Chain A
Amino acid sequence: MPKTEIKEHIVMRNRDIENIRDLDVYLANGGYAMAKQALTSMTPAAIIDEVKKSGLRGRGGAGFPTGVKWSFVPKELNPKYLVVNADESEPGTFNNHEIIDENPHQLLEGIVISAFAIGANVAYIYIRGEFAYGARFLEQKIAEARERGLIGKNLFGSGYDVEIYVHRGAGAYICGEETALLESLEGKIGQPRLKPPFPAVAGLYAKPTVVNNVETLTNVPRIIEKGADWFRSFGTEKSPGTKAVSISGHVKNPGNYEIPLGITIREFIFDWAGGMRDPNLPLKFIIPGGASSNWLTEEHLDLPMTWDDMAAAGTMLGSGAMVVLDTSVPVVRAALKVDEFFKHESCGKCSPCREGTHFLVKVWERIDEGHGRVGDIELLADVGKQMLGKCFCPLGDSSVSAVNSAIKFFRPELDAAIDAQH
């Protein structure tokens, strides 16, 4: 099957146009025209409508329709806030990074349009603490845009103000979860909040708040520019558009790719990313959507990369972070590393996750170190079952995916790892 070509990049326009990070280049390529059009000649409802029609789904991981999310915001409660989730901390994800560093103005334009659409005058970009460069860079770009009257008071003479602030996180994975992000943004300890109320009703400072991913908002100017139908010409019916996907692991060409949604995993790995690195080491398994997703194996290679197809296969597209691993990787070590990450990042708020992740790591560790005990696999499965669906937020559930996947696909290998000691 020939590789599906992408006509043009929607979010990674830096790959089509050189130096689009510079405001002049961006303006020369129609930059901020859509913001002007939206603020001066469109109603917020019309923008939300257009985004709804485009079928744009949240790129952060859950794939919730963005237009629908915006329409949940109650009109009468003010002020409202737009919060941009740039806390890209899922292991294996680095696509927002590229957008921020290479195509920042499209993101900022998207923020202006979206803020107008939901009626927010203030937008916060919650950026991952480790992205020190990105944070400074964004601030610099915001300052440039503000200087030219593209961000700030009375934009384009519409009388509408949009201020954008950059807030650096302090290095917690959990702050990628929207309510924990809001807590952190308020200056509290980064831990998820009880839902309901949902952020759309009571979010930042208990005011209506929309939290969107960087990539989602970067799509918005192009949707307004070229229309929903154009956007729908990419991808599939239920998952229209493109997705920036980071691929890493044992492939020839790891990196970011903007793919039209709906191509198969096989096509993505073998046609886009150049196939396996070492021809002698075949594919063992794939972590398709970040460390929190369930694993896939060779049998799933023909799965189309859409939210719904991936969900049907029991995993998720997530934030678009595919890790491809070959047979040189021991399953125990892989699962241990994933669970160590979740143990390290568990916020401690709910007991099953706080203690469960620790418990899982302890068991994986002893198997890895060669002290595995008979019944450890059942123990892992049972602890996983005690955690799955019982935690406060999805982090705890995520840590179980490695356990369940490893047991589901590699039970003989795990048994062998334990039996070798006895």
Chain B
Amino acid sequence: MPDMVTLTIDGQTVSVPKGTLVVEAARQVENLIPVFCYHPKMAPVGMCRMCVVKVGTPKMDPATRQPVVDADGKSVIAMMPRLQTACTTPVSEGMVVVTQDSEVEHAQRGVLEALLTSHPLDCPVCDKGGECPLQNLTMGWGPGKTRFDYNDKVHFEKPVPLGDLIYLDRERCILCARCVRFQDEIAGDPVLGFYNRGRAWHIISQSDPEFDSKFSGNTTDICPVGALTSADFRFKARVWELQPIPTVCNHCSVGCNMTFDTRSNDIKRVMPRENDAVNEIWLCDRGRFGHHFNTSKQRLTTPLVRKAGKLQEATWEEALSIVAQQLDGIRSTTGGKAIGGLAGTSLANEDLYAFQRFFRETLGSANIDHRSGSALDLPLDDAGAQYGIRSGTDLSTLGKGTVVLVFGADPEEEAPVHLLRIRGINTRGGSVITLNGRPTKLDSIAKHALRYKYGSESAILAALLKPLLDSTPADGKRATLRGFNDLVAALKGFNLDEQASGISADKLNTVAELINSAENLVIFYGRDALTAGASVPAGLANLLVMTRKAGATNSGLISLLKGANARGALDLGVRPDRGPNYAALSNAGLDAKQMLSAAREGKLKALYVAGVDPVGDNPAAAESLKKLGLLVVQELFLTETAKLADVVLPVLSVAEREGTYTNAERRVQRFRQAIRPTINARPDWQILQALANQLVSEAVLSAAGGDKSRKQTRREEDKARVRSEWTYASPAEILMDIQANVAGYKGVSYASLQGPTGQWGRQANENYYFDGTSYQNTGGLGVQLPAAVETSSIQTLQPFSVSTPASVADRPWTLVGATFLYDDGALLTDTDLLNNRKAKAVVALNPVDADKLGVKNGERVTVSSGRGSLSLPVHRTKLAPEGVVVVPVGVNNVGLVSVVEGGATPVAIRREA
């Protein structure tokens, strides 16, 4: 390779890419130069001076600019007069590095002695003890004893809380600034800083509330001492007692790899597991601290059956036979179409596959969905799979030449770790474009941060597509694009109404040009885009096709769906209109909304709900559910829906069982059983298997009512439909079934998810940069599924049309439901640490608008649409643009669901007296 540089480190020759730092080059030959302040994910600073080494470069003849050679023909090495920090020195050709000699050792011992002069001797009570780089490096490089008086150590009051989540012990701090730099460089929340100087120099929080960042927990991981400890793990256990179990975060669609560190059958902490293709080594605070639901006392512990109007404890046999008999009764009288099923997006792939099989095969019903049937449901998103990011893409390597378009999404709230990934691409030289209806944190780093007016999303996309269409040559290129002429027709005579869209056409032309010239194009879209109509995902897909990026390396769509396994639910056909792998169905079933209205009309007799809470999402749904003949709820908690159920079946949580999730980038990843269940619950798939087998057994069939001939025909039907009795022994076998029957999942098995390990050699518990066992990834990196477009030769443009929002004269404002990371969802049950950070039930209103209405902070307003109205206190903030009111989704007592109409909704606002 042309830009490789060869150098010698302690006599070993190594070739590394140009620009590599000496400390990284040394790692390649397993020469561990000790570091404290250096971190491979951040720019070097050279503060701790631990990594000093001797460096020499070939002596150059000033006249000829050629290396001087000695008699043997070897180049003469000129050693630098001072020791150099290996973490800030880039390699150069012919460089000679000496990491082990008396001078270097003396200097490194000196640095350690210096660090230890003000480090307290409280390792026995320190949570970092056992995985502490300072301990380890002191053992390796430090002086045997100190020459410094103990009483002269620096003293600070200890510990001080930095916000609710993190404690700071300033005595232990060695002032490496890793945490400050993480917040500045990686998280983009510069909330930490320094105060004072010299020995009194210390970390402070500069934000109000303190340490106001969604990534604060990561600073405890990268802290090389126990200065930053998490409130969650403080004094919970010693790290060597913990058993790390690989798992996958189930809080959002990023699918961060992490471990549950367990002891005595209890989850003590959550640590990130390194996977450069997903989360690198980061976690958001929700993922890190939101594990308490697994061990919550509020969990359902045993099956409940409604007897005499009350839910009462029952055995599994009893509960299951009631469900099986009743389902069979309904099936035999009215057929499968009177049964509906909802399976949530936090269920594993295995559960979802079993669920749709149970409905389609066993019950003969196509009425399945993964949504709750509320007005806040997201539409089914197929573009994210069809035009999804190409398999093998690693966002952590993208940089120069990459354009990231964030359309109608707030990654910070919807998928926080994606924010870090996007920021990383930007740091490495990529460009970020944000096209949003309201301000987001990414705007600050975006090359173009554009704000559209809600309702004009499709017009914006049309304006981006039009120049691309016009510049497409008329020759064969157009013929390879299926749907090209339709798109031309759709955009015929289109002119951007700059007034209505809020963005100038020129600006969009610039963006279109930037997108078109990009080497890689990654498009993120979230709630705002998904709720803005089918044309938006279609338009984004068309952008990919028109810029020749569809199915191209390192390009594609990433859809920030709600729920950890929303992509899995779509892939595996937990939806009324398509089967597994997006197979078209001859007759579609009812979706969640239709099921609820069918129930209200009495057409739907039974509803089977797994991991969805229709009543919690929309209290009005209770009315429909009460009309059902049978409501079965399979849940972790006694949700509002479960309270109405006839039978409640408790399930095991993500920590108590194993399975797989498919994340937003369509990577299938495996989680494992971390703790032994102490309750009488079962995994979802087992429950479904038991029911399926009961339903096809003769006993149930013969016990079913109906006349004889009918029973006979039905038995024939069943035989045709049901392949065989279910004999899954473990989720692994279901995944085998999935990979055999779902084309997209071909080759995915527990064995393939296990490997490959070894991202740049960092998997093998290397106590070097990160130390401890924290980041070790023994659980595998998962498998990224190919997008549909990758395998097809003809590229299809999606049907696209420009819609103009109908303005409603008496409702001049726009109501937007926004996702917030910390919501009132069941997965944050018992995670009290995050309570103060949860989104408040308020209406966010721009100060200008608030003045217009004459409302102060905290005063109540009524927001009413064509459907209904809500009444909430006002929060004046610039985060709501003028003319837009933002209300949180997933927060209790908001009433948003009864007001909103799909996406952005025209509303009237009235100040309450």
Please determine if A and B sit in direct contact within the complex, based on CB atoms under 8 angstroms apart: yes
What residues of chain A have their CB less than 8 Å away from a CB belonging to chain B?
172, 174, 189-190, 194, 343-352, 354-359, 362, 379, 383, 385-387, 389-392
B907 at the interface (CB under 8 A from A): no
Please give, as numbers and ranges, the residues of chain B lying within 8 Å of A389 by CB-CB distance. Answer: 81-83
Q: Is the CB of B197 within 8 A of A194?
A: no
Question: Which residue in chain B gives the minimum CB-CB distance to A346?
Answer: B198
Which of the residues A349, A355, A362, A386 comes within 8 Å of B47, measured between beta carbons?
A: A349
Q: Which 10 A-B pairs have the closest CB atoms?
A: A386-B110, A348-B201, A355-B114, A389-B82, A346-B198, A351-B114, A355-B117, A348-B198, A390-B107, A347-B197
Given A356-B114, A358-B117, A390-B52, the answer on whether A351 and B88 have CB atoms closer than 8 Å is no
Q: List 14 A-B contacts (CB under 8 A).
A: A348-B194, A348-B201, A350-B48, A351-B48, A351-B174, A352-B49, A352-B111, A354-B114, A359-B117, A362-B149, A362-B152, A386-B109, A387-B110, A390-B82
Q: How far is the CB of B230 from chain A (nearest CB, A)?
A: 25
Q: How far is the CB of A194 from chain B (nearest CB, A)?
A: 6
Question: Which residue in chain B gives the minimum CB-CB distance to A344?
Answer: B198
Q: Is the CB of A347 within 8 A of B201?
A: yes
Q: Is the CB of A386 within 8 A of B115?
A: no
Q: Is the CB of A385 within 8 A of B106?
A: yes
19 additional A-B pairs beyond A351-B114, A355-B117, A389-B82, beta carbons within 8 Å, are A189-B194, A190-B197, A194-B44, A194-B88, A348-B196, A348-B199, A348-B200, A348-B201, A350-B48, A351-B111, A351-B174, A352-B111, A354-B198, A355-B113, A358-B118, A359-B148, A362-B152, A386-B113, A390-B52
Q: Is the CB of A194 within 8 A of B46?
A: yes
Which of B114, B200, B201 has its CB near the most chain A CB atoms (within 10 A)? B114
Q: Is the CB of A352 within 8 A of B47?
A: no
Please give, as numbers and ranges, the residues of chain A lying within 8 Å of B50 by CB-CB distance. Answer: 351
Give the complex CA separation of A379 and B149 in angstroms.
13
B131-164 CB contacts (< 8 Å) to partner A: 147-149, 152
Question: Which residue in chain A gives the minimum CB-CB distance to B43?
Answer: A194
Give the complex CA separation of A347 and B199 in angstroms.
8
Give the complex CA separation of A351 and B52 in angstroms.
12
Q: Is the CB of B115 within 8 A of A172?
A: no
Please give, as numbers and ranges, the residues of chain B lying within 8 Å of A356 by CB-CB distance. Answer: 110, 114
B45 at the interface (CB under 8 A from A): yes
Give the complex CA separation of A331 and B48 in angstroms.
32
Given A379-B147, A390-B110, the answer on whether A354 and B199 have CB atoms closer than 8 Å is yes
Please give, as numbers and ranges, the residues of chain A lying within 8 Å of B198 by CB-CB distance. Answer: 343-348, 354, 357-358
Give the complex CA separation of A347 and B47 in angstroms.
11
Give the complex CA separation of A347 and B175 in angstroms.
11
Give the complex CA separation of A344 and B197 in angstroms.
9
Given A390-B52, A390-B111, the answer on whether A354 and B201 have CB atoms closer than 8 Å is yes
Given A172-B197, A194-B88, the answer on whether A351 and B45 have CB atoms closer than 8 Å is no
Question: Which residue in chain B gives the minimum CB-CB distance to A379?
Answer: B147
Please give, as numbers and ranges, the residues of chain A lying within 8 Å of B106 by CB-CB distance. Answer: 385-386
Please give, as numbers and ranges, the residues of chain B lying within 8 Å of A386 by CB-CB distance. Answer: 106-107, 109-111, 113-114
Give the complex CA separation of A347 and B88 in angstroms.
20
Q: How far is the CB of A175 from chain B (nearest CB, A)?
A: 11
Q: Is the CB of B49 within 8 A of A350?
A: yes
Please give, as numbers and ranges, the residues of chain A lying within 8 Å of B114 by CB-CB distance. Answer: 351-352, 354-356, 359, 386
Given A386-B106, A390-B49, A390-B107, the answer on whether A351 and B197 have CB atoms closer than 8 Å is no
Which of A174, A350, A356, A387 has its CB near the most chain B CB atoms (within 10 A)? A350
Q: Is the CB of B49 within 8 A of A346?
A: no
Which of B44, B49, B50, B115 has its CB near the most chain A CB atoms (within 10 A)? B49
Please give, as numbers and ranges, the residues of chain A lying within 8 Å of B193 by CB-CB distance. Answer: 189
Which of the residues B45, B83, B110 comes within 8 Å of A383, measured between beta carbons?
A: B110
Give the complex CA separation of A350 and B176 in angstroms.
8
Please give, as numbers and ranges, the residues of chain A lying within 8 Å of B52 by CB-CB distance. Answer: 390
Question: Which residue in chain B gives the minimum CB-CB distance to A383?
Answer: B110
Please give, as numbers and ranges, the residues of chain A lying within 8 Å of B148 by CB-CB distance. Answer: 359, 362
Q: Is the CB of B107 within 8 A of A355?
A: no
Question: Which residue in chain B gives the minimum CB-CB distance to A348?
Answer: B201
Q: How far is the CB of A384 from chain B (nearest CB, A)?
A: 10
Q: Is the CB of B110 within 8 A of A352?
A: yes
Give the complex CA separation of A350 and B114 in angstroms.
10
Q: How far is the CB of B197 from chain A (nearest CB, A)?
A: 5
Q: How far is the CB of B749 from chain A (nearest CB, A)?
A: 49
Give the complex CA separation of A352 and B88 in angstroms.
17
Q: How far is the CB of A182 from chain B (nearest CB, A)?
A: 16
Please give, as numbers and ranges, the residues of chain B lying within 8 Å of A343 by CB-CB distance. Answer: 198
Give the complex CA separation of A356 and B49 in angstroms.
13
Give the complex CA separation of A346 and B117 in angstroms.
16
Q: How far is the CB of B98 from chain A (nearest CB, A)?
A: 15
Give the complex CA separation of A392 and B84 in angstroms.
10
Question: Which residue in chain A gives the minimum CB-CB distance to B113?
Answer: A386
Please give, as numbers and ranges, the residues of chain A lying within 8 Å of B194 by CB-CB distance. Answer: 189, 348
Question: Which residue in chain A gives the minimum CB-CB distance to B152?
Answer: A362
Please give, as numbers and ranges, the residues of chain A lying within 8 Å of B83 by CB-CB distance. Answer: 389-390
Give the complex CA separation of A356 and B152 in angstroms.
13
Please give, as numbers and ranges, the residues of chain B lying within 8 Å of A392 by CB-CB distance. Answer: 46-47, 49
Please give, as numbers and ranges, the residues of chain B lying within 8 Å of A359 by CB-CB distance. Answer: 114, 117, 148
B104-134 CB contacts (< 8 Å) to partner A: 106-107, 109-111, 113-115, 117-118
Which of A348, A383, A389, A391 has its CB near the most chain B CB atoms (within 10 A)? A348
Q: How far is the CB of A217 from chain B (nearest CB, A)?
A: 29
Please give, as numbers and ranges, the residues of chain A lying within 8 Å of B111 by CB-CB distance. Answer: 351-352, 386, 390
